[in-house]
Structures are given as C-alpha cells and as structure tokens.
Chain A
C-alpha cells in the first residue's frame, strides 16, 4: 500500500512539471509547425492561380491580385498552396494565434497578426473567471475533439484559467462546436444549444466548423456553423485541427485575459472597475513568437 504510494510519487517526481509555461512563458511548437499564413501578392505574376488551383478547399481568394486573401476558416494548413507558388507569395508562419471574433475576420491578408478581441465588459464579468463549456461534435472527425481533450489535460490545463468542459448543457455557459454539422447531427446540436441557458457563448473549432472544411461541397452537411444561422458564433478557431495552444490563445483572448501581442497573462483581475481591460503586468514581450524557424 505504502509502496504503491511511493511509486506514484516517485513517478510524479521523475516526470516533473508537465504544464506548459504558456501564457506566462514561451510557447514551444514543433519546428515544422504551420500557423498563420502570410501573403505577399506583390510577388504574384499576373493571372497566376497556382495556389488556388492547388488548394483542396478553395481557401485562396482573389489569387494573383493585390486583394489576395487566404480564408483561414477553410484552410487545412496543408501548405499545398505554398508548394504550388513559384514566387513565394504565400507561406505559413509559426504564429499560432489564429482565432477571430467574426467569420470574415478569418480572411487573412498580408502578414498581420490576427488577434481576437475580448468580449464586452458585461460578458467578461460573467465568464472571465469561470467558463463552463459543453462540447458538441457535429460530425467532427475526432481530430478537433482530441485537441480539445488535450487542452484540458495536465499539459495545457485549461482549468488553470477557470475554463472547463461539463457534461450537461444545463451546466454550461456555452458550446464548443466541431465538425461540418452533418444533417444527422443538426437537430441534436440545435437542441443542445437551446438547453444551454442564456447568456451563452458559442465557439466554432476547426476548419469543418468554420466552413465545412474538406466536406464543404458535401450534400449532407451544413458547411459548418455559417450554415446554422440560428446559432450565433462568438469565437472562430480555425485549423485542421487547431493546436491546443491555438485553442487556449483564442479562449483567453475572448475572455480578455491575454491582450495585444503580449505573451503574458493579463493579470488575474479580468475586469477592472473602470471597465478598461487589465493590462499585462511587467510589460509585454511582443512578437516573440514571430516567424523564426527555431523553437520559441
């Protein structure tokens, strides 16, 4: 009995601290991680559509023109476009921050960070320190679901921030939806949303939930949450699937707990009496996660 206990403690000691340093410390991502796309249409040759033709989900909008954008909501981050482009007009950076508050916001142009805005003061006061979410997989392939599970494990540890997943919509402050929303899941999704007490948040996670993803041409799915107008979405987290850090970043920005380019957590005081968002203590460390190839 005591032996068992010692073995457990010894294993714990050997493994050491498992929780990632983020957001108080640097993010560690694989060397070949593909994050936010950066576009430079000035390199495009007139009339070239190579990137758009290579893209499996038609995510490149206005290819070859100055208004070229890449719809991260459709993007699978496969980099087929980058490989197809002869001019290097399109590449994937290592910026893991991808979430946006609007579907339109996911259409990335140039090489600008995409940072989700926080909720308004009232909603931050309600959910900023405690957010209970119900997950609904509406034909998600278990990629996004697996990463959402990972976001809750000891490594990424969502509960550090008072965010957790609960077993009933009645106990939830919001829904996290994955998948393209199959015809066969649509009624259950709507029922779950109706069972969640208002005010409630809705987060769409993954290319499928943002646009239908690779299934967007399919006849038995809705094309993700844009095809379910009854349910308004508060946060869009793209990716196929998004890295747990991307999920964490999106949720923390939504709650106003990370701001601007800062990597640091914006204090623990989520909402200040004056209504102004809390600023990060000790100054920010902007742009540390830039596009450098090594671990950051």
Chain B
C-alpha cells in the first residue's frame, strides 16, 4: 500500500510524483486527525491542476519527532472547510480561496487575506471582478451593535515609522470587545515574481520578503535550493550562517525590548536598547557590509569569510554589547511601574495559542515549547544546541521576557561559534535545482517558523514557490490578545508581537 503521507525532513527534497494525491475525504481526515492530535500545518497551498482543478498540498509538522509529512489532494470549485474543527487552518483556507477561487464551504469567517490578484486565470474570489478591490473599504467588518458601542479605525498609515495595516476595534469606552486586522497593503506579488526562477533576482527578492528577517528568509530559501540541487554546505559556512541568524535575532529582540519600554514610557531602557540594537546590526555589517545581512547567504554557503582576528574581535564585541543589554533591559524588568503595564496585559492562553497554531517567541511565551532550531535542526543547529526557553503567562511581560532570555542564549551561541569556527571553505558551487522535485525548508527566524516550499517543473524551474512567514500564523494571536483589553494598551500589545506586514502580504 502506498503511504498516505510522504514522510520527509526539514531541508530534504522529494520527487513531486512521490507526493500522494489522496481523495478529498482522506486528505481532510488526515489533516483533522494530525492537527487534533497536536500536529501542525507548516504550509498549505494550491497549485493549478488540469481540468480546472486545484492541487492542494499540505506540509504537516510533528514537532516532538522532528518529522514532516507531505500529502495532497485535488479539489474543484469547492470543498468542505476544516476551519471550524481546526481554527489554525483559517488563514490558509482564506489564502487558497483568494489565490485560486476555491470555496471552503462552511468557513466560519471567509474574508480576504491580502487582496492579491488570483494566481489562477479567471478565478473570482469573493465575487470580485477583474482588477484589485480597493481596501479597506471592501471588507466584511465584524460589527458589534448596541448602545454606546463605538468603532475605532486605525491605519493603514500609522503614527510611527512602521508598515501599513488597518486595525478596527469594536469598543465600549476603553474596553475592546473585538479587534479585526486587515492586511494586504504591502502586497507586492512576490510568489508570482518567483515563478520560473531561480534567477539573478531571486535572492535579493527573498531578502526583501521581510527586510528585518533578510537572513532568516535567505536561509530558508538557500536550504530549499540546496536540497533541490543536492548541495552540501561546508561546516564553516553553516557556522557563519548560524552566527548571522542569531545576530538578526539579537538585533530585533533587543530593539523590541527598547520599543516595548518606549510604549510604557520607560525611557532609560528605550534609549539604551535602541542604541544597543545597533551593536548587533553593526556586527552583521562587519561580516557582510550590510546591517541587515543582505548579500551574505547564497546557495552553497556564504559570500563573506572572517579571519581569526576579526572573528575573535566580533565575539568580544557581541559579548560586551550583551552585558550592556542585560543591564539596560534589566532596568525595565525591575521597574514596578513598567511591570504594572506589562504583567497580565494582552494574555493569550496556551490553549488558544495551540488552537491558532502560533509560532516563535509568541507561542513560547504561552508555554508552548516549539522551536525549529531544536525540533527540525539543520545546519549548525544539528551540532550546537540552543536551549528553548518558554514562559507561562502568555502576556506582554512573558513575550518581553522570552525575548530577553533567548537573546542571552543567542549571544552565548554567537560568541562561542565565532571563537571556534570550523576550518575550510565558506562556499561550494551549488548546481541548478533538479527537475520535478519538491523541497520544504524551515528556519526559526526571530519571529518564529519560516517555511519555504519550492517545487520545480520538468526544466528545474520554480513551478510553485510558497513562502510562509511566521506572522501568517501570529496575526490572529494579536487580534485575540486584544479582547477585553483597554484600547490604550494596543500599541504595547502590538509591539509585544511585532509581526511582519510584508512577510504576511508577500
């Protein structure tokens, strides 16, 4: 009997033809069973199939076992939605509808996800005509009715220097009943532009999926391409990649601690961490010339090496910077007035986090021990383990504290790796992707699990390139965290999630 789920590992390629195509009922049953039993959907996407059908592929993740499973089915114009049974599927099903016009019958809340043009010719999701719908006007907002209930609309252009999104609150005075988040303003058509690649534009475009996660996405991409090409990355390159990924995590987490302090008007930590963030960005720039690690990662390794002296100096810099962060962030955690704002604010329960399929520090703050670096370890993480830290309270404090604790581990890791870089080359040639293969590549970016799925056609070109930024899972977590909060705590809650708009909008 042929297996109903093709088992694979992170960073492995399989034959496209080996992915089982199940009858819809079996496919749905497997997804529901796996998710109910504690498994997750790491990716779920459509592809145009013959006869006007859509091939739907699901990548299932078994975190404790570190295994991935791939299975697929063909659907016509509609299929019964899984969202009511498994809420974590809600975004994926909305995406499938928007991209291919397939209707998930009975989806409790079928609404646009990013206002993109369909990937299938002639598909008319939401009954839209040709051309893009204007946003956010054309949106089925949930409305709470009743005396003295009022609506607050924020965005797309925000007060600070941040990306655009629209937030709509249903309030009673300060009390938030419901927050609805409308995204899609950042949509640039990345997945469509990547088709037919890889070419010279591919890597810089991947680095721009979310510019604050350039290293994370570049690593996920490189992992996919290397799997498709059967390329093995040298040890020194793997170590430098780990250094870069952790520096990216440090820069963002330290920056977030500063911003969180700013949002509760605790200015010492806000100013100190704001400046200290630069130490880690500059460390990345010392490696590759760019503060966000652009142009560093390349399929086959990395483009820049460090000599022993430079590596040792960088290790010292990172350690020294971390000691300053420890002291500066410690002020925030020790301040009763700041803690009064962060503790108990924006709570997400562990149960809810599990149901929504949250990932990254946000999930770990709810006590869910989930981290690609441990569960699906590849590259340097298969050899150098970073302990996974979890919190309990699921509130703003926990999300800040998790960032602090895991930054500490990252700083130790970076210094350790830099002092013991393996010898050898930092780059080997990487061949062109093999034809008819499919690879899943996951990386624990600073926001959580990044998953790239690349499938090649008969000529070895990308026939489908699916990108899942961790924010795709986590935006719903923010909406839920705001329920029964004070609307004035929104900026604080939002910053404690600090999700990517363009990573979601693609």
Within 8 A of A (CB), among B193-244: 193, 200-201, 203-205, 208-212, 214
A96 at the interface (CB under 8 A from B): no
The answer to whether A184 and B186 touch across the interface, beta carbons within 8 angstroms, is: yes
The answer to whether B117 and A220 touch across the interface, beta carbons within 8 angstroms, is: yes
Stretch at the interface among A64-72, A74-82, A248-256: A74-82
The answer to whether A183 and B211 touch across the interface, beta carbons within 8 angstroms, is: no
Known: A14-B327, A141-B208, A142-B211. A182 touches B186 (CB 8 A): yes
- Min C-beta distance of B446 to chain A, whole Å: 12
A167 at the interface (CB under 8 A from B): yes
B294 at the interface (CB under 8 A from A): yes
A7 at the interface (CB under 8 A from B): yes
Interface size class of A (residues with CB under 8 A): 35 or more
A217 at the interface (CB under 8 A from B): yes
A154 at the interface (CB under 8 A from B): yes
* Cα distance A220–B192 in the bound complex, in angstroms: 10
Within 8 A of B (CB), among A39-90: 53-57, 76-80
Selected contact of A167 from candidates B159, B187, B282, B501, CB within 8 Å: B159
Q: Which residues of B contact A11 (CB under 8 A)?
A: 268, 272, 327-328, 331
The answer to whether A32 and B132 touch across the interface, beta carbons within 8 angstroms, is: no
- Min C-beta distance of B462 to chain A, whole Å: 15
- Min C-beta distance of B91 to chain A, whole Å: 18
The answer to whether A215 and B285 touch across the interface, beta carbons within 8 angstroms, is: no
Q: Which residues of B contact A55 (CB under 8 A)?
A: 200
A144 at the interface (CB under 8 A from B): yes
Selected contact of B286 from candidates A14, A32, A153, A217, CB within 8 Å: A32
Known: A140-B211, A143-B214, A182-B188. A240 touches B294 (CB 8 A): yes
Selected contact of B502 from candidates A77, A141, A219, CB within 8 Å: A141
B304 at the interface (CB under 8 A from A): yes
Known: A78-B204, A139-B502, A241-B292. A4 touches B156 (CB 8 A): no
B275 at the interface (CB under 8 A from A): yes
* Cα distance A221–B116 in the bound complex, in angstroms: 12
Interface string of B476-506 (1 = CB under 8 A from A): 0000000000000000000000001110010
* Cα distance A143–B200 in the bound complex, in angstroms: 20
The answer to whether B274 and A154 touch across the interface, beta carbons within 8 angstroms, is: yes
Residue of B nearest to A184 (CB): B185
Q: Which residues of B contact A80 (CB under 8 A)?
A: 200
The answer to whether A241 and B208 touch across the interface, beta carbons within 8 angstroms, is: no
Interface string of B147-166 (1 = CB under 8 A from A): 00000000011011111100
The winner among B201, B271, B327 for most chain A CB atoms within 10 A is: B201
Interface string of A166-195 (1 = CB under 8 A from B): 011100000000011011110110001000
- Min C-beta distance of A223 to chain B, whole Å: 12
A290 at the interface (CB under 8 A from B): no
Residue of A nearest to B295 (CB): A78
A95 at the interface (CB under 8 A from B): no
- Min C-beta distance of A262 to chain B, whole Å: 25
Selected contact of A146 from candidates B156, B203, B211, CB within 8 Å: B211
- Min C-beta distance of B131 to chain A, whole Å: 9
Within 8 A of B (CB), among A267-282: none
The answer to whether B185 and A213 touch across the interface, beta carbons within 8 angstroms, is: no
The winner among B161, B163, B287 for most chain A CB atoms within 10 A is: B161
* Cα distance A53–B456 in the bound complex, in angstroms: 24
- Min C-beta distance of B194 to chain A, whole Å: 11
* Cα distance A154–B281 in the bound complex, in angstroms: 15
The answer to whether A79 and B132 touch across the interface, beta carbons within 8 angstroms, is: no
A163 at the interface (CB under 8 A from B): no
The answer to whether B212 and A142 touch across the interface, beta carbons within 8 angstroms, is: yes
Residue of B nearest to A10 (CB): B327
* Cα distance A140–B281 in the bound complex, in angstroms: 19
Q: Which residues of A contact B164 (CB under 8 A)?
A: 136-138, 185, 188
A218 at the interface (CB under 8 A from B): yes
The answer to whether A147 and B188 touch across the interface, beta carbons within 8 angstroms, is: no
Q: Which residues of B contact A288 (CB under 8 A)?
A: none
* Cα distance A25–B352 in the bound complex, in angstroms: 53
Q: Which residues of A contact B163 (CB under 8 A)?
A: 137, 140, 142, 145
Within 8 A of B (CB), among A143-171: 143-150, 152-155, 165, 167-169
* Cα distance A138–B185 in the bound complex, in angstroms: 8
A257 at the interface (CB under 8 A from B): no
A284 at the interface (CB under 8 A from B): no
* Cα distance A3–B334 in the bound complex, in angstroms: 11
B135 at the interface (CB under 8 A from A): yes
* Cα distance A266–B135 in the bound complex, in angstroms: 46
B189 at the interface (CB under 8 A from A): yes
The answer to whether B117 and A79 touch across the interface, beta carbons within 8 angstroms, is: no
The answer to whether A142 and B328 touch across the interface, beta carbons within 8 angstroms, is: no
* Cα distance A240–B185 in the bound complex, in angstroms: 21
B184 at the interface (CB under 8 A from A): yes
B19 at the interface (CB under 8 A from A): no
Within 8 A of A (CB), among B249-292: 255, 268, 271-272, 274-278, 281-282, 285-292
- Min C-beta distance of B495 to chain A, whole Å: 12
The answer to whether B185 and A139 touch across the interface, beta carbons within 8 angstroms, is: yes
The winner among B117, B186, B335 for most chain A CB atoms within 10 A is: B186
Selected contact of B188 from candidates A33, A57, A142, A221, CB within 8 Å: A221
B424 at the interface (CB under 8 A from A): no
The answer to whether A32 and B285 touch across the interface, beta carbons within 8 angstroms, is: yes
B134 at the interface (CB under 8 A from A): yes
Q: Which residues of A contact B290 (CB under 8 A)?
A: 34, 77, 240
A292 at the interface (CB under 8 A from B): no
Selected contact of A150 from candidates B160, B278, B304, B505, CB within 8 Å: B278
20 A/B residue pairs, CB under 8 Å, sorted by A: A7-B331, A11-B327, A18-B275, A32-B289, A56-B205, A76-B295, A80-B200, A137-B162, A139-B186, A141-B212, A142-B210, A143-B208, A148-B161, A155-B274, A155-B275, A184-B132, A184-B185, A188-B157, A217-B201, A243-B291
- The 8 lowest CB-CB distance pairs between A and B, nearest first, are A143-B211, A141-B211, A32-B289, A167-B159, A30-B285, A153-B274, A18-B275, A135-B161
Beyond A15-B324, A138-B164, A243-B291, 6 additional pairs, beta carbon < 8 A: A7-B334, A56-B204, A141-B502, A142-B162, A152-B161, A153-B275
